[in-house]
Structure 1
Amino acid sequence: MVMFAAFLVGLFAAQPVAPAPVALKADAPKLVVVISVDQFSSDLFDEYRPQFTAGLARLSGGTAFRNGYQAHAATETCPGHSTILTGSHPTHTGIIANSWVDQSLTRSDRTVYCAEDERVPGTSSTSYTVSPLHLRVPTLGDLLKQQSPQSLNVAVAGKDRAAVMMGGHNVDQRWYWDGKTFTTDLKSAAVPETINKAKVAIAGAIAVPQAGLNPPPFCQAKSTPAAVSPTLSVGAGRFARAAGDAKAFRASPEFDGAVLAIAAGLIQELKLGQDAATDVISVGLSATDYIGHGLGPGGGEMCLQLLSLDRNLGDFFNVLDRSGIDYTVVLTADHGGMDIPERLRSKGVTDAARADPALTTVEVGKAIAAKLKLSGPVLLGDMAGDVWIDRSLKTADRARAEREAIAIFKAHPQVEAVFTSREIERLPVPTASPDQWTIEQRVRASFDKQRSGDLYVALKKNVSPIAKPGAGYVATHGSVWDYDRRVPILFWRRGAAPADRQDHVSTVNILPTVAAEIGLQVPASLDGRCIDGVEGVACPSH
């Protein structure tokens, strides 16, 4: 596999540095590096931690929380990334899901993508203009630039929604993969030479076939085929790739290597962390998620991915070390993930199952329409999670449809709970330790009155909402359960003593903790609070 940082290191000659303001704190790090590994659950972290020898081993030797939480119910990419650098739950960020239904839209597509601007004529939720429009709160970078205008805020990610939700509204550079190459939504930003060189290098890599990886013994033990269907097995793949297959490139360890290479190049070219103003770069690594969806997180493919990620992160940190930059790192994830039920059952998880196709909103809506003699879809949304009732129905019919939907969902043996928006809204936003939250409280932390559904349907534990798996999509996340909620949160700065922490913390605690480390003022209204006892961080009195 290619580690693209090797192409980029040393390409940019030193330039005179303009005067900059004094750092926020005298001992503040000059560069804050925040890394999200998409679908990197605490279960995976615990399992593979003894195998890490490079970058993830380094971070594990800092202040390591194995019981971090994306505490809310909407354990998807966009909501999860919206919490990491805002200090706020989705109920306050406004990012309740990767997409939601807005029945007030005049366009034919009533679905809204979390990182789009649906006001742009001719766009849809699948063909959209990337925008931070829906993010209602500032990010770390936004707040940093308010207090220290000469600070730089840079984001690079494998997904647009990761780059948007971590970078925020006021970014100096934002780059993400669009399916073919790296692009940006910033019209006025000059294109760094790093991006031009990376595009050429990546296109060249995709153009040639890739031989499969040779799994080490630890991965060989996991490389057992698991049948998902009569025609599809996963578990023993090695990431061999045909020439020109960009989708296979995206779902391979090469993809994270490319993102880290771009991040390393941008740090060097933009001189991040090389003057008196503290800068921030957020890095979204997406390959773990694509591999988890397409192959499941429990097989040999994920083993190869995580060991490759460990090495690539090690290379990335070595680049920063050679630069002499005083930097601090936070690594976490936007959510976890559930393995394929077929493999879970072979490991003794007897209740692991795929959801009944009859639970989709389409099928339940059809059943309600037939029984109540209603026209239209009746229900909108996907399998489980937020469900919207068709607003074209008369008020009385909407009430009848809601009662019937609740009855159908609650009667199904794969459904754990059903809540109305009225029930959720009257709950206070939870503030207790995230491991103690009830299911309803988890839903409350994701609830937005303007965007959330009329109902919220929670499937039972170990029930995958993928009723009919196919190539590229066999496993997923998005549930209220801890295999989707629990993520590692790792803080590292050179010289800080190692500390393994077992206490339960949330991703909303990251922003106030980093803010205390660099001396940044943050709003008192945040859901998160600075974590006491993180090495090198002195929290303000609460």
Structure 2
Amino acid sequence: MKKVFSILILCIIVLTGCENEKKNTTKPKLVIGIVIDQMRYDYLTRFADKYGEGGFKRILKGGFSLENAHYNYIPTFTAVGHTSIYTGTTPTNHAIISNNWYDKYLKKEIYCVDDENYNTIGNDGDGGKKSPYRMLTTTIADQLRLSQNMKGKTIGVSIKDRSAILPAGHTANAAYWFDGGAQGKWISSSYYMNELPNWVNEFNTNGNADAYLSKPWTTLYDINTYTESVEDDNNFEVTFKGQEKPIFPHDIPTLRSKNNNYSILKAIPAGNSFTTDFAKATITNEQLGKSNYTDFIAISYSSTDYVGHQFGVASKEIEDTYLRLDKDLENLFNFLDTEVGNGNYTLFLTADHAAVQVPSYLKSVKIPANYFSVTKFKNYLNEVCKEHFKSDKLIENVSNYQIFLNKEKIKSINLDEHLVAQKLADEAINYKGIYKAVTAKTLQTTTFTAGILNKLQNGYNQKFSGDVLLIPNPSTLSTYYKKGGTSHGSGYSYDTHIPIIFYGNGITKGSSKKKYEIVDIAPTISNLLQIEFPNGNTGKIIDEVLK
């Protein structure tokens, strides 16, 4: 009898274990990728005392946070960041080398998602002539669709077109972005559909955009409590057009007409709330997380980037923007609990890049910083060419800290293009503000395994990048920003250190101080979903994140 009882107990234990194993390996019904444009890691810690319990703190406490996560390439721009997150690789493979770049085949500057083969869906403008065709590899979302024989839905949502299009991938059911100016509507491209769904048309006519623009932008809490930021009235910020000083309150209803009408919504925290509203409407109306397949929505919050560019990373405006975003995230998470079900979804939250402190502010506190004139630098390079090669027509383009040679001219006067490139690299390093200069040939023949040249190499694409690649000194921005505000793009830690937080189904609780790279997100989510990695993947699975 004892033997029979023991066998029964053993069977129960085994069956219970099998059931638990089954529960632990159940795939989420919905995956949500959240990218916060221009979010530095230290925004999590700087404003922590003012965050509520339901936004950032909820996923930090209930999920897994990587405290030492970085971008592993140059340049750290929006299109490149979103692409690298979702493809699990760098520009070397996915070929999105910037937001805009000089196309040496077309002999002109191009934009990452422009595509004249498609038309705008949602209005009669040109804002929807877009597609992901310049991205040469698949995304997590593509691989999920392929693994389910094109079942399940994948949708991208962002105020910025590139931030909706590139993450959602080539096989997306839809990507939606906000067309500002006089339009004020969410639109798409004929790449995805022939007409907007009825629910999008209804959303566009519900008056929410105008409602958000009908109120001044005031601080969420008493501005005197915003002790984590510099004085509101300072010389390091840019005003809205029509505003005398860049200080609170910002009278949005009055400023709207002088700041491209609906486009001002992108540049205030309400743009993030508006994005949350549209993301929730997408999930509800597309019934995401309700089928027998796993769905995917890529959400990108762009207003943080616009605010950061205009006011800088130490401003009252950026502090208020993140305190309000914290509430938007709480709103979204509570909605997911109700609509999809707590335990039925998995999300990750990260940023497409960070940002540098305003260089003029750094200079005011005796920290080295600089503004760089591309025009003056190009003139210097032309003088170098005249001195050494008797011609100032050897350079075709200088942009994104890359030099593109005029190879036809070089060939016509019987010069060696590699010799010209090396001379330019040797002389560029003597120019004030340039820290490193290497030729494309060097990047093709030498492997840099660490340091900033490794990041430069990861961002170099042999087919599309320039002939000489440059790295400026730390805390250097274009002279465009001399009037105030900040930007990003470098391989220094202020641009590369970003949050990565995983939360939900299949994710363990905890944190790690180990160094991880942005390309590690895609293989980690792929492993969670038990699907193939994106086809250009160079990242690794972060196994300590997964249960």
Q: State the TM-score, normalizing by the size of structure 1.
A: 0.84
Compute the displacement of 1:339 (Å): 1.8
Which residue does 1:227 correspond to in 2? 235
Q: Are 2:347 and 1:364 aligned?
A: no
Which residue does 1:7 correspond to in 2? none
Which residue does 1:459 correspond to in 2? 472
Compute the displacement of 1:234 (Å): 7.5
Counterpart amino acid of residue 204 in structure 1? D
**Residues 299, 234 of structure 1: alpha-carbon distance in 2 compared, 3 angstrom cutoff:** farther
Which residue does 1:343 correspond to in 2? 361
Counterpart amino acid of residue 140 in structure 1? I
Q: Residue 114 of structure 1 is aligned with which of 103, 112, 121?
A: 112
- Contact 2:116–2:130, Cα closer than 8 Å, also in 1: no
**Residues 158, 120 of structure 1: alpha-carbon distance in 2 compared, 3 angstrom cutoff:** closer
Compute the displacement of 1:207 (Å): 5.8
Q: Residue 259 of structure 1 is aligned with which of 275, 296, 313?
A: 275
Counterpart amino acid of residue 28 in structure 1? K
Q: Are 2:524 and 1:513 aligned?
A: yes
Q: State the TM-score, normalizing by the size of structure 2.
A: 0.83
- Write the distance in 2 (CA, Å) between the matches of 1:42 and 1:454: 33
After superposing the two structures, state which structure 1 stretch, 161-170 or 368-377, moved more. Answer: 368-377
After superposing the two structures, state which structure 1 stretch, 491-500 or 32-41, moved more. Answer: 491-500
Which residue does 2:43 correspond to in 1? 44
Compute the displacement of 1:359 (Å): 4.9
1:371-403, Cα deviation, whole Å (9 max, x unpaired): 455354724132x52221223422345567535
**3-state SS, counterpart of residue 65 of structure 2:** strand
Equivalence map 1:284-363=2 (5 Å): 284-325=300-341, 326-346=344-364, 348=365, 350-356=367-373, 359-361=376-378, 363=379
- Write the distance in 1 (CA, Å) between the matches of 2:525 and 2:129: 31
1:10-53, Cα deviation, whole Å (9 max, x unpaired): xxxxxxxxxxxxx9995111100000001112133332234321
- Write the distance in 1 (CA, Å) between the matches of 2:519 and 2:217: 41
Equivalence map 1:392-411=2 (5 Å): 392-395=408-411, 396=414, 398=417, 401-411=420-430
**Residues 447, 498 of structure 1: alpha-carbon distance in 2 compared, 3 angstrom cutoff:** same
**Residues 230, 271 of structure 1: alpha-carbon distance in 2 compared, 3 angstrom cutoff:** closer
**3-state SS, counterpart of residue 393 of structure 1:** helix
Counterpart amino acid of residue 226 in structure 2? C
Equivalence map 1:438-453=2 (5 Å): 438-453=451-466
- The count of residues paired between Structure 1 and Structure 2 equals 496
Q: Are 2:135 and 1:135 aligned?
A: yes
**Residues 84, 239 of structure 1: alpha-carbon distance in 2 compared, 3 angstrom cutoff:** farther
Which residue does 1:488 correspond to in 2? 499
Counterpart amino acid of residue 271 in structure 1? Q
Give the share of equivalent positions with the same residue, in percent. Answer: 22
1:172-224, Cα deviation, whole Å (9 max, x unpaired): 12101233432111352552344223323344236635353354344266251
Q: How big is the alpha-carbon RMSD for the aligned residues of Structure 1 and Structure 2?
A: 3.0
- Contact 1:91–1:448, Cα closer than 8 Å, also in 2: yes
**3-state SS, counterpart of residue 533 of structure 1:** helix
Counterpart amino acid of residue 113 in structure 2? A
- Contact 1:364–1:379, Cα closer than 8 Å, also in 2: no
Structure 2: stretches of 5+ with no match in the other structure: 1-21, 120-125
Counterpart amino acid of residue 477 in structure 1? H
**Residues 175, 349 of structure 1: alpha-carbon distance in 2 compared, 3 angstrom cutoff:** farther
After superposing the two structures, state which structure 1 stretch, 252-261 or 367-376, moved more. Answer: 367-376
**Residues 442, 114 of structure 1: alpha-carbon distance in 2 compared, 3 angstrom cutoff:** same
- Write the distance in 2 (CA, Å) between the matches of 1:240 and 1:115: 34
**Residues 312, 413 of structure 1: alpha-carbon distance in 2 compared, 3 angstrom cutoff:** same
- Write the distance in 1 (CA, Å) between the matches of 2:409 and 2:463: 19
**Residues 391, 349 of structure 1: alpha-carbon distance in 2 compared, 3 angstrom cutoff:** same
- Contact 2:177–2:187, Cα closer than 8 Å, also in 1: yes
- Write the distance in 1 (CA, Å) between the matches of 2:291 and 2:117: 39
- Contact 1:215–1:238, Cα closer than 8 Å, also in 2: no
Counterpart amino acid of residue 475 in structure 1? T
Counterpart amino acid of residue 29 in structure 1? P
1:271-330, Cα deviation, whole Å (9 max, x unpaired): 101122111000011111111111111111100111011000111111111224311110
- Contact 2:239–2:310, Cα closer than 8 Å, also in 1: no
- Contact 1:192–1:266, Cα closer than 8 Å, also in 2: no
- Write the distance in 1 (CA, Å) between the matches of 2:514 and 2:77: 24
**Residues 110, 300 of structure 1: alpha-carbon distance in 2 compared, 3 angstrom cutoff:** same
Q: Decide which structure has greater helix share.
A: 2
**3-state SS, counterpart of residue 505 of structure 1:** strand
Compute the displacement of 1:87 (Å): 1.2
Structure 1: stretches of 5+ with no match in the other structure: 1-22, 431-436, 537-542
Which residue does 1:420 correspond to in 2? 439
- Contact 1:235–1:301, Cα closer than 8 Å, also in 2: no
**3-state SS, counterpart of residue 171 of structure 2:** coil
